[in-house]
Amino acid sequence: MAALIVLAVIVVLVAIVVFKSVALIPQAEAAVIERLGRYSKTVSGQLTFLIPFVDRIRAKVDLRERVVSFPPQPVITQDNLTLHIDTVVYFQVTSPQAAVYEISNYIAAVEQLTVTTLRNVVGGMTLEETLTSRDSINGQLRGVLDEATGRWGLRVARVELKSIDPPPSIQESMEKQMKADREKRAMILNSEGIRESSIKTAEGAKQSQILAAEGSKQAAILSAEGERQSRILRAQGQRAAKYLEAQGQAKAIEKVFAAIKAGKPTPELLAYQYLQTLPQMAQGDANKVWLVPSDFGDALKGFASTLGNKGDDGVFRFEPSKSDENLPKPEDDTDEVADWFDMKTDPAIEQAVRAAEAVARTPVESAYDELPRHERRPLSGQWSDPGQLAAPRPPEPPSGE
């Protein structure tokens, strides 16, 4: 029985010795080994054999880059405002021996060093500079921390300000200031829009007046030209009408006198024609009283004796004189006045009418629409010549004779 107990004790002791003699250090970790209380070596990522009860692992250090977030710290700025700033530090242990023997708690040391350095940096800045200088503050913090933690076996990779919280009263004031600034910019933009609208309206009115003046000018020219052509055509028509009327009257008189001569009228016929004319003479509101001369018969006898010859029956009859038969006839001017009665339209007038219709149907395009898009914002007074804004003038219509 005693032998079994002794054997069990020996097995336990052997197990303890084996356990104390073998250590497995994983990758990305480093083990600081001491021998009899003094630093012996640093191993990482391997199986290590130790001398039992002589060697021991003092500490295991994580060699990966670590991220440590520190709680918000009160910091006073240069303009005496208290800000709460929380930071994030990215660091890595490069020397496990220094991290174990040079400082007892390197994480707490990094935190306190970050707080003191942050207060020193922000204390020389105003609130506005602090809020707008994050990169500068991060760079200063990293430089100071990396220099101070180098002897502890640490390498500070990055330092970031996670948040900067001003006091509630300051936040309210900043919100009011931001709101006022936005309202100011909105009013400025609104004023700029009204200004641009006024400029565009004025430019449009200017172009409209110029185009209206051009249109009035063209209308006046065309109206005057049309009136001129109309008067010329009316005069030509009246000339032709009067000529036709005179020609008709001449033909009528010629026919009447030829009929009279051929009929050889007697005094009784003349008296009959005279009596038929008397009622026409009496017509009219102003003809209240009219008188027939008493020597009317004697006048007819004298007229008949002068123009007629007394026949065998004692009656006076008209006899044309032999000289009347050889009288020259009116000159024939048909060829000279043939163009007076031409009903065709004058080519010059037709061309003028077509030109006017083409101008009226042409869409008006201003010089402003022809400008490139990046030049379509002229300021007031940019164009001093009104002709630059007006559309091209249409050609003057040819004048007709």
Ranked by mean pLDDT, which of 2-16, 211-225, 351-365 comes out on top?
211-225
The dihedral through the CA atoms of 361, 362, 368, 369 has a sign that is positive
Place 390 in a pLDDT band, splitting at 50, 70 and 90: very low
How far is it, in rounded angstroms, from Cα 271 to Cα 301? 10
* Residue indicated by tokens 């009136």: 227
Place 189 in a pLDDT band, splitting at 50, 70 and 90: very high
Structure tokens at 67: 């991220």
Of 38-42, 48-52, 125-129, 331-335, where does mean pLDDT reach its minimum?
Answer: 331-335
Rounded mean pLDDT, 321-343: 61
The helix/strand/coil state of 69 is strand
How far is it, in rounded angstroms, from Cα 212 to Cα 389? 12
Q: Would you mind telling me the total number of residues written for the chain in this entry?
A: 401
**N- to C-terminal Cα distance for the chain?**
156
Beta strands in 22-145 (DSSP E): 22-25, 29-35, 38-43, 46-49, 55-62, 66-69, 73-76, 82-93
Place 201 in a pLDDT band, splitting at 50, 70 and 90: very high
More confident residue, 200 or 345: 200
Please choose, from the candidates 215, 213, 204, the residue with its C-alpha nearest in 3D space to the C-alpha of residue 389: 204
Pair 137, 126: CB distance under 8 Å:
no
pLDDT at 394: 46
Rounded mean pLDDT, 72-78: 87
Question: Has this prediction a pTM greater than 0.75?
Answer: no
More confident residue, 177 or 261: 177
Residue 81 has pLDDT above 70, yes or no: yes
More confident residue, 310 or 67: 67
Rounded mean pLDDT, 266-271: 66
* Residue indicated by tokens 């007629």: 308
Residue 291 has pLDDT above 80, yes or no: no
Place 80 in a pLDDT band, splitting at 50, 70 and 90: confident
Residue 334 has pLDDT above 60, yes or no: yes
> 66-166 — its CATH code?
3.30.479.30
Beta strands in 94-180 (DSSP E): 154-165
pLDDT at 274: 67
pLDDT at 52: 79
Mean of all residue pLDDT scores within the chain: 77
Please choose, from the candidates 308, 288, 290, the residue with its C-alpha nearest in 3D space to the C-alpha of residue 300: 308
Q: Residue ranges per domain, the chain?
A: 2-61, 66-166
